[in-house]
Chains A and B, each alone.
Chain A
Amino acid sequence: MVILIAEKSDITRTGIRYILHELDKNQIVKELENPEKFRRTIEKEKPFLVFASADFLNDSFFLSIKNSKEKPIFVGINVDTIALSVFNFLSETIGFTSTKADILRILQRFSVAQTKEIFGKNDNELTTREIDVVREIAKGLTNKEIADKLFLSTHTIVTHRKNITRKLGIKTASGLTVYAIINNLIEIN
């Protein structure tokens, strides 16, 4: 998984590369100084993420890659004055005040996006079975008790709980209780 840094300034290029390697020393990073070779480099290296400054970004470039199948994600470098039409092609931007944390966030954002694509569609809605389990957790039952009540194994309940936590972003039993009440899954007494 290659990351390409397209930027005329040595200092900026080196800085970004340095941070990328600090975040992940195994990350393959290619650099490009000459805007004329931009398209060819992308075709050759097939980066999944490209950091590029305004010198590299213009309408005709984006037009030329419009129909290519594997388009990388573009992050603009110091693109404050760039045309809006070009700006719209960028997924993120960084500037002189950006920190390591910003770059980390960008990396996390897009590596997550990629894994999502592999798993396909949004499966964040609770299934009926999972709703049953939430209801019982909210009533204060233990995994074992829920298993007995629903005629399932404790192991299955544990799996359900993991999925529920992943989907809802709620880890604790009392958090799930609040969720259950808000969504009218159980009555308050």
Chain B
Amino acid sequence: MRPLPELTPENTAFWTGGAQGDLLIARCDDCNHAIHPPQLVCPKCWGTAVKSRAVPGTGTVYSFTVNHQPWAPGMAVPFALAVVDLDEAPGVRITAEVVNAPPETVHIGQRMRAVFHAVDDIWFPQWEPVQ
């Protein structure tokens, strides 16, 4: 079974926004800097008015890998992991599993949209190709 992330004040929005279908990214209210992984402080201006805001949940594949090795008991392989440059959150990438597409079709430059997979109290973003 995959380990789950520990929920903290900084990351709860990111890991639970999927319950409402939202990909929530931490954003500095003072300078609008997009912060990922989420922090309580803005690394750009040290402001502490950090709020999580929904982004469209789309993006472009910067890179990927197809994993063939079962690293944990019950891990189904192969599957693709995509590192995606997020729309409307400059500098932020979200790395997640690709679903609803054969792994060998994943490519750099491909357009993706986030869908969510719930395990306990965590809503994992996953990438689905935009048709």
Asked if A pairs with B, the answer is no
**Chain A residues close to B by CB (< 8 Å):** none
